[in-house]
């Protein structure tokens, strides 16, 4: 694998992008965290990639420009369960965060690190409570819960080892979206693939799943 930094002018604005060349059949252009990311087969000409980006520029620009991080130290805010909190940093050298009213206090200069630890605990509490309450719907007593920093997914179900895994970034989303991810992953204990049966089983336990699923599609990881 080989990464290459490039840039392209779209509507008079320069956008940097990274190309990763790998063994694959066709070019994939994605926007992740407001950045253009390209994967392409070995020996693809940059001109070919650029023309593909140009062809899809409206969609790509919209996606890049609408990106807002969930946590911004620079702009002093963070989203927790869909709510925006003002970020107050008081460096006491402690990896601790506390919520008071509409503010989230971070007592460390390592804001990301402190928040990550806080988020992991908070998300775990929420997930374990919700999952425990939902397990009877799946005729199960216990599952292992894991929280990780995934890049392109909200969750995973490892049904063979009785484990569900969730993206730490879920902490930023509204609870109705987190609940959708929980139900989605638990449904994989019934049906491994995204088959018709899968969605039937999901709809039985979460009749409005489609609304949530669509809302989640509009949400960046
Ligand atoms: Zn799935």
Domains plus CATH for the chain? Answer: 2-65 (no CATH), 71-115 (no CATH), 119-217 (3.30.2010.10)
CA 36 – ligand 1 centroid, Å: 25
CA 99 – ligand 1 centroid, Å: 33
CA 154 – ligand 1 centroid, Å: 9
Question: What is the structure's pLDDT at 13?
Answer: 94
CA 209 – ligand 1 centroid, Å: 13
CA 185 – ligand 1 centroid, Å: 6
Question: What is the structure's pLDDT at 1?
Answer: 59
CA 49 – ligand 1 centroid, Å: 30
Question: What is the structure's pLDDT at 140?
Answer: 95
DSSP class per residue in the chain: -EEEEEEEEETTEEEEEEEEEES-SS-EEEEETTEEEEEEETT--HHHHHHHHHHTHHHHHHHHHT---SEETTTTEEEETTEEEEEEE---S---EEEETTEEEE-SS-HHHHHHHHHHHHHHHHHHHHHHHHGGGGT-S--EEEEE--SS-SEEEEGGGTEEEEEGGGGGS-HHHHHHHHHHHHHTTT-SS--HHHHHHHHHH-TTHHHHHHHHHTS--
> Which residues of the chain fall short of a pLDDT of 70?
1
CA 75 – ligand 1 centroid, Å: 34
CA 156 – ligand 1 centroid, Å: 7
Question: What is the structure's pLDDT at 83?
Answer: 97
């Amino acid at each position: 694998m080989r990464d290459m930094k490039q840039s392209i002018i779209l509507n008079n604005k320069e956008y940097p992008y990274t190309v990763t060349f790998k063994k694959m059949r066709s070019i994939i252009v994605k926007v992740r965290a407001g950045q253009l990311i390209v994967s392409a087969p070995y020996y693809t000409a940059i001109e070919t990639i650029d023309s593909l980006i140009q062809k899809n520029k409206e969609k790509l620009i919209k996606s890049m420009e609408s990106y807002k991080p969930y946590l911004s130290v620079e702009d002093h805010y963070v989203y927790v369960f869909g709510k925006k909190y003002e970020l107050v940093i008081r460096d006491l050298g402690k990896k601790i965060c506390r919520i008071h009213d509409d503010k989230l206090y971070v007592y460390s200069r390592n804001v990301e690190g402190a928040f990550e630890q806080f988020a992991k605990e908070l998300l775990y509490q929420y997930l374990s409570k919700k999952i425990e309450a939902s397990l009877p719907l799946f005729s199960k007593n216990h599952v292992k819960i894991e929280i990780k920093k995934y890049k392109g997914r909200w969750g995973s179900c490892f049904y063979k080892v009785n484990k569900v895994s969730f993206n730490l970034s879920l902490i930023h989303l509204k609870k109705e979206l987190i609940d959708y991810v929980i139900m989605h992953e638990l449904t994989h204990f019934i049906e491994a693939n995204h088959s018709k049966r899968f969605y039937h089983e999901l709809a039985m336990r979460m009749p409005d799943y489609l609304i949530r699923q669509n809302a989640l599609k509009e949400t960046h990881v």
